């Protein structure tokens, strides 16, 4: 299927020109990074922008950097680049593990983490990891910069709090100093072309603090706050896990769709929470950094 409507293509060389274009076209503009979602949507006439703004020529947006103990992942950084980055491998191996579960090599070579959270499908693999790390979404517009905690980013299925004139330049994550370990568990049908049927990410800290986030089992990816509150300060025993699971299953609200039934998703969240906690605790006790 071809794209059946015409549009203007822009490839600004800096952030200033990009936000000026966004300001001019507003909701008639679409931002193009990897294009693995946008081009499909244009082919299917789900979106018909007047202007497509390709941001890949903006150097800053292609960066993975670590400054002042803050990791910055630019909007054009692909999942393959994340997997190959020494900074990611050293400080955020969980991001590498998650990236390896995204679709297939040919998609990971093009698709971006920031694009993943901007598309904001409930099954976004990047979301649970960014949630457990309390990441921040960095946004630029003509009126300046805005930082949004990831927890407040998702506004509904395929909806975010980004305004039409705003450009997401990247995500920022503060380096965690305390000893911690994490795990991302993803349920998919087969590797290759794969959206999560359910996903859960846990981050456990030495001082018995626990971060838990999920995707694909509710309208938006979210932190499991009630479950976390219950877990915090507790030694993990089979009984604690059992009680935590009950709370977790109340916090999720999966639906049945083409990929799996609601019942299966609930069942698997139960199993995957258990698995994820055990793997993360093992890593923590093994002394490895995540």
Which residues bind to other proteins, rule: CB under 8 A?
Answer: 1-9, 11, 32, 35-36, 39-40, 42-43, 52, 54, 56, 80, 103-107, 109-110, 190-193
Q: Which is nearer to other proteins, 112 or 227 (CB)?
A: 112
Rounded Cα distance between 85 and 89, Å, is 6
Q: How far is the CB of 231 from other proteins (least distance, A)?
A: 34
For 19, phi and psi rounded to 5 degrees? Answer: -70, -25
Q: How far is the CB of 168 from other proteins (least distance, A)?
A: 19
Q: How far is the CB of 53 from other proteins (least distance, A)?
A: 12
Q: Which is nearer to other proteins, 107 or 236 (CB)?
A: 107
Q: How far is the CB of 191 from other proteins (least distance, A)?
A: 4
Q: Which is nearer to other proteins, 86 or 239 (CB)?
A: 86
Q: 41, 121 in Cβ contact below 8 A?
A: no
Q: Which is nearer to other proteins, 106 or 149 (CB)?
A: 106
Q: How far is the CB of 241 from other proteins (least distance, A)?
A: 31
Rounded Cα distance between 251 and 228, Å, is 11
Rounded Cα distance between 77 and 62, Å, is 5
Q: Which is nearer to other proteins, 35 or 182 (CB)?
A: 35
In this structure, what token pair is assigned to residue 71? 């990791």
Q: Which is nearer to other proteins, 103 or 132 (CB)?
A: 103
Beta strand 180-187 with 136-141 is unpaired
Q: Which is nearer to other proteins, 89 or 104 (CB)?
A: 104
Q: How far is the CB of 63 from other proteins (least distance, A)?
A: 18
Q: 226, 139 in Cβ contact below 8 A?
A: no
Rounded Cα distance between 68 and 65, Å, is 10
Q: How far is the CB of 105 from other proteins (least distance, A)?
A: 5
Termini Cα distance of the chain: 44
Q: How far is the CB of 118 from other proteins (least distance, A)?
A: 16
Angle CA(32)–CA(93)–CA(267) in degrees, nearest 5? Answer: 85
In this structure, what token pair is assigned to residue 289? 């950094």
Q: Which is nearer to other proteins, 48 or 179 (CB)?
A: 48
């Amino acid at each position: 299927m071809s794209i059946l409507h015409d549009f203007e293509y822009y490839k600004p060389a800096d952030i200033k020109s990009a936000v000026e274009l966004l300001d001019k076209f507003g909701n008639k503009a679409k931002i193009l990074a990897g294009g693995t979602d946008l081009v499909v949507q244009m082919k299917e006439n789900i979106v018909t922008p007047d202007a497509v703004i390709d941001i890949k020529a903006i150097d800053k947006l292609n960066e993975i950097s670590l400054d002042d103990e803050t990791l910055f992942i630019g909007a054009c950084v692909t999942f393959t680049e994340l997997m190959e980055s020494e900074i990611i491998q050293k400080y955020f191996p969980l991001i590498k593990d998650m990236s390896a579960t995204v679709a297939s090599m040919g998609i990971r070579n093009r698709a971006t983490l920031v694009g993943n959270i901007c598309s904001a499908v409930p099954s976004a693999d990047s979301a649970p990891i960014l949630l457990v790390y309390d990441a921040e979404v960095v946004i630029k517009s003509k009126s300046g910069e805005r930082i949004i905690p990831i927890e407040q980013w998702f506004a509904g299925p395929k909806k975010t709090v980004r305004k039409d004139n705003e450009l997401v330049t990247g995500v920022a994550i503060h380096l965690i100093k305390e000893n911690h370990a994490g795990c991302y568990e993803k349920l998919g049908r087969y590797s290759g072309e794969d959206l999560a049927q359910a996903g859960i990410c846990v981050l456990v800290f030495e001082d018995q603090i626990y971060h838990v986030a999920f995707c694909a089992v509710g309208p938006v990816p979210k932190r499991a706050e009630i479950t976390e509150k219950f877990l915090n300060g507790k030694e993990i025993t089979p009984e604690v896990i059992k009680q935590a699971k009950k709370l977790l299953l109340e916090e999720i609200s999966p639906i049945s769709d083409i990929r799996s039934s609601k019942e299966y998703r609930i069942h698997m969240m139960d199993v995957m929470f258990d698995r994820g906690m055990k793997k993360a605790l093992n890593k923590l006790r093994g002394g490895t950094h995540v």
